[in-house]
Structure 1
Amino acid sequence: MKKNRQTALIHAPRKAPQYISTVQPPLFRASTIIFESTDALFNRHWTDRYDYSYGTHGTPTTFTLGDQIAQLEGGEYSLLAPSGLSAINLVNSCLLAHGDEVWVANNIYGPNMEHLRNLQTRYGIDVKVYNPIDASTFQPSDKAKLIWLEAAGSITLEFPDLTQLVKKAQAHQVLTVLDNTWGAGLAFNAFDFGAEHLSVDITVHALTKYPSGGGDILMGSVVTRDQKLHHQLFRMHAIQGIAISGDDAAQVQRSLASMQVRYEHQSQSALTLMQWLKQQPEFAQVLHPADSASAGHTYWEEICTNGHSAGLVSVIFQPEYDLKAVRAFCDRLSLFKLGFSWGGPISLVMLYDLKGMRALEHTHLQQGLLVRFCIGLEHPQDLIQDIENALKQLKILQNE
């Protein structure tokens, strides 16, 4: 049939072969997906491993990335979300209902706690708080449905007693969800860890951080080994219309090849920085799970047998340094930029006041303002010099 030129522009009479072998896989951008026949349309189901029915369910680009993330985490099934927080909210909204009890560490990622408190107010979810380095504080009732784990914890970087917490949760049939952004699937295998080869039920990972590596992509993942649990999460994923851009997926996929190299470099740089920071009198405490003086160090040693510890290190200033002084210190840093997130090429710094941020008493923490350093790809000696220069300026200000 001869076509009008306008129609021919849409329905091209000739197409190049669709597949070639390349270093990077082809990028698929799709909302609508074309079915070859009514058989192809109706002989499919949303539970199929690769359900090509609509862009929100997935394309070869997003499914390929999802498979790679599942493999990285040690799981079997993966769902992708527009951000780490979106992935967290997917788990909470899918698995928690009125009257359920959810347990969270007192060093949990702040926005997760805020979301759970919102669910508590609106839908009657009972939020309980435990101390991650003391498994005895986790006391689930018969209504307990879920426990959130973080390794290491947000900001103050305590490594939890994963072994005892997971064993206790399993004994009470409580689902375990690990925010694995710090470990990134590289520090330890969340689905096979410790001498007893324990496993969490679900991992959530902010792919915004190490997998992206550029500080320019927002994305999250939810990984599990259990098909029934995956289908439950996938159903909510579809109902909520959660989807990611094919372009973003391709960018993260491209970065995965260098992820372990970057992670190990940033981890080693953080260790170098940590050792230097411990010698500086301005700091009352240095927080890093690989430091023998840090809370949860023995648990880190037990689980992270490869010695990896991510690229984060926090310090607590001596009490005589007030908010004005610590803000001045942050402002005088040159290589460290003020900004949230981590895992990118540029080192970041962020200031926190722990008062009001912890729901339980943390006796191991010194009094004072906390600064978190997120190590990028700069040479560690240059980063040390940057901090040293800012501390010199701080001393001058204190003496004026």
Structure 2
Amino acid sequence: MTELATQLIHHAYRPPEGFEAVAPGVHKASTVIFPNVHALRTREWKDKSGYTYGLHGTPTTFILEERIATLEGGRFCALVPSGLSAVALVDMAFLRQGDELLIPDNAYGPNKAFAHVELAAWGITHRYYDPQNPADLADKIGPTTRLVWLEAPGSITLEFPDLPALVAVVQQANTARTGARPILTALDNTWGAGIAFNAFQLGADISMQALTKYPSGGADVLMGSVVTRDEALHQQVLMTHMRLGLGVSANDTELVLRGLNTMALRYAAQDVATRGLARWMQGQPGVAKVLHPALAGSPGHAVWQRDAKAAACLFSVVFDSGIAPCQIDAFCDSLRLFKLGWSWAGPISLCAPYDVPSIRTTPWPHAGGLVRFAVGLEAVDDLRADLSQALPALSA
């Protein structure tokens, strides 16, 4: 090699082995180099025994997948670019034309939208069930049902379902079937995050998370995961994942790996802060009800006490029916520390008003408007003061 350009690209130096540091190395690749043709033809990536192409994994992504599987109490993990792509991956891996999907009526809105538009266009039907009523799920399961989504607690309104009871309904339906593909259960475990409870111990077949939330913790990464204990299910997820060309960046993976180191501490701190603010809001004028699984009287509180050991950073406030939507909007606009924005589990507290009846098919039992709060890492006294100074806007 005499030309400088070639020398720089094919440089002979290799750093010595044995470097160890707190943070795992960040490996970036589309092309992966093989030592010989035999390795190119035989190397395997699906069991993490080798590297073949950037989309199929690098040391960095393999490390994160293993740690997320441990976090969830599972064995296998696939990483995807967002929480919603994790939902879509599960649907596409296990549903076929003519199948039916059942979704809790209080599920994450984009999960429902994906079923309503994309899955419907592919000949996959869906229905909604009441997650607080296992008998309703039993009534909804039909001969073509192949997948049941679970969510704990429900999106926005935070009802905590009896997951073992819902799983038992599905298991009973599977027992009654002969020769048909079994019904699978998939849990959106973003709220629990692997900390509040173990999805697999409560009976789920599949657990997905938006790693955007607690595992990242910085409000600066989009990523999702699909975790299983069953190898056959994982291989089905993995092959669909490969065919869709789903991948995550090394830099985003690095950030989630860093966030995992403080995740348990952040979850505990935000849990304590959220419970304190939720209890305080119960006594404020204009407040009809505060929804949070750890509060007595919140839907599913007894089940949460039985099955969970922690609660996340969300609580929702239902206001008196006489308070108009414009007054609720003015209250939100008056907040200074609570910012208006989507997502949660980051360092900054957030809020957003919702029109619950417009996103439910079952009756909503409250007449007043609702605001969901996501508690960040600010001092609790400062957040309480912010809520206090904004409350007069409800009566303006």
Bin of the TM-score, shorter chain as denominator length: over 0.9
Q: 1:180 aligns with which of 167, 174, 189?
A: 189
Q: Which residue of 2 aligns with 1:257?
A: 261
**Aligned in 2, Cα 1:218/1:19: closer, same or farther, shift over 3 Å?**
farther
Pairwise CA distance, 1:369: 1.1
1:374 corresponds to which letter in structure 2?
A
The AA in structure 1 aligned to 2:154 is: G
2:226 paired residue among 222, 230, 241: 222
> C-alpha deviations, 1:169-215, integer Å up to 9, x for none?
1222320100000000000011113xxxxx21100100000000000
Q: Which runs of 4+ in 1 moved over 6 A?
A: none
Q: Which runs of 5+ in 2 are unaligned?
A: 175-182
- CA change 1:16–1:3 in 2 (3 A) is farther
Within 2, Cα distance between the matches of 1:3 and 1:13? 13
User: Match of 2:124, as an amino acid?
Assistant: I
For the Cα contact (< 8 Å) 1:51–1:57, is it kept in 2? no
Give the Cα–Cα distance (whole angstroms) in 1 for the partners of residues 218 and 45 of structure 2: 33
Secondary structure of 1:149 counterpart:
strand
Counterpart Cα distance in 2 of 1:47 and 1:244: 16
Q: In 2, Cα distance between the equivalents of 1:348 and 1:231?
A: 38
* Cα gap change, 1:279 to 1:90, in 2 (>3 Å): same
Cα deviation for residue 393 of structure 1 reads: 3.6
Query: Over residues 298-341 of structure 1, what are the superposed CA-to-partner deviations in whole Å (9 max), with x where a residue is unaligned?
Result: 1111110x2x1101000011111112111110000000000000
1:300 has 2:304 as partner: yes
Q: Quick check: 1:325 aligned with 2:327?
A: yes
- Deviations 1:220-266 (CA, angstroms, capped at 9, x unpaired): 00000111110011000000000000110011001101000000100
Judge conservation of contact 2:286–2:394 (CA < 8 Å) in 1. Answer: no
TM-score using structure 1 length = 0.94
**CA distance in 1: counterparts of 2:275 and 2:104, whole angstroms:** 25
The alignment covers a number of residue pairs equal to 386
CA distance in 1 between counterparts of 2:218 and 2:370 reads: 26
Which amino acid letter does the alignment assign opposite residue 186 of structure 2?
Answer: V
Amino acid at match of 2:306: E
**2:378 and 2:338 mapped to 1: Cα distance?**
10
Quote the residue 1:80 is aligned against.
79
Any conservation in 1 of the 2:327–2:393 contact (CA below 8 Å)?
no
1:51 deviates by 4.1
Q: Is the 8 A contact 2:64 2:257 kept in 1?
A: yes
Identify which range, 385-394 or 176-185, moves more after superposition.
385-394
Aligned pair partner of 1:361 in 345, 363, 379? 363
Distance in 2, matches of 1:3 and 1:170, equals 69
1:98 Cα offset (Å): 1.4
Name the aligned partner's letter for residue 188 of structure 1: F
Give the drift of 1:3.
3.2
Counterpart of 2:311?
A: 309
Q: SS of the counterpart of 2:234? A: helix
User: Given that residues 323 and 394 in structure 2 are in contact (C-alpha distance below 8 angstroms), is that contact kept between their aligned partners in structure 1?
Assistant: no
Q: Name the Cα RMSD after superposition.
A: 1.2
Listed as ranges, the gaps of 5+ residues in structure 1 are 194-198
Percent of counterpart pairs with the same letter?
Answer: 46
TM-score w.r.t. structure 2 length? 0.95
